């Protein structure tokens, strides 16, 4: 039995079904969109103040420091949690200054939140946190 090849066109037109191809492309698109949004780096962008020597000639921000044992200091003097709001209010009396809180890695986060609240109640226009590993 011999098969002959015919050069005539087939009776039915050939259809290319694109629906499965579109489904696969949409699935890949959704997969890549959902996985790339999970790849963001975790962390917080903080602005650390630069040291300008022993004297602080530029009064462009209020710098508060928190030690690992929970002491709150401003310009080397211990002010405590109760002294944050009056200190910020006094320094922001002429102009609302930003407050930068330098926090030790071993400090309690609850104390930091209370300091942020006290600084905002004292009239700080912006409060940022700078952390440094000890």
pLDDT at 57: 43
pTM above 0.85, yes or no: no
User: Distance between CA atoms of 27 and 1, rounded to whole angstroms?
Assistant: 48
Q: Confirm if 85 and 121 have CB atoms less than 8 A apart.
A: yes
Please give the C-alpha separations between residue 50 and each of 61, 63, 72, in angstroms, as whole numbers: 11, 11, 19
Return the higher-pLDDT residue of 100 and 57: 100
Whether the per-residue pLDDT at 22 is higher than 90: the answer is yes
User: Distance between CA atoms of 126 and 116, rounded to whole angstroms?
Assistant: 10
| Bridge partners for 77 per DSSP | 74
Phi first, then psi, for residue 95 (nearest 5°) are: -145, 135
> 115 lies in which domain range?
62-132
Per the domain annotation, does 1 fall within a domain? no
Per the domain annotation, does 20 fall within a domain? no
Per the domain annotation, does 28 fall within a domain? no
Arithmetic mean of pLDDT, 74-87: 86
Per the domain annotation, does 72 fall within a domain? yes
Tokens of 29: 């698109």
pLDDT band for position 60 (cuts 50, 70, 90): confident
Per the domain annotation, does 125 fall within a domain? yes
Per the domain annotation, does 82 fall within a domain? yes
Number of separate domains in the chain: 1
């Amino acid at each position: 039995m011999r098969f002959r090849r015919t050069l005539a066109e087939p009776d039915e037109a050939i259809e290319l079904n694109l629906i499965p191809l579109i489904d696969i492309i949409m699935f890949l698109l959704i997969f890549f969109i959902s996985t790339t949004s999970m790849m963001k780096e975790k962390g917080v962008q903080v602005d650390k103040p630069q040291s300008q020597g022993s004297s602080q000639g530029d009064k462009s921000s209020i710098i508060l420091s928190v030690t690992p044992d929970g002491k709150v200091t401003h310009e080397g003097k211990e002010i405590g949690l109760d002294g944050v709001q009056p200190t910020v209010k006094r320094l922001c009396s002429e102009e609302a200054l930003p407050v930068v809180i330098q926090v030790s890695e071993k400090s309690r986060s609850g104390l930091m939140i209370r300091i942020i609240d006290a600084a905002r109640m004292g009239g700080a226009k912006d409060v940022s946190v700078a952390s440094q590993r000890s």
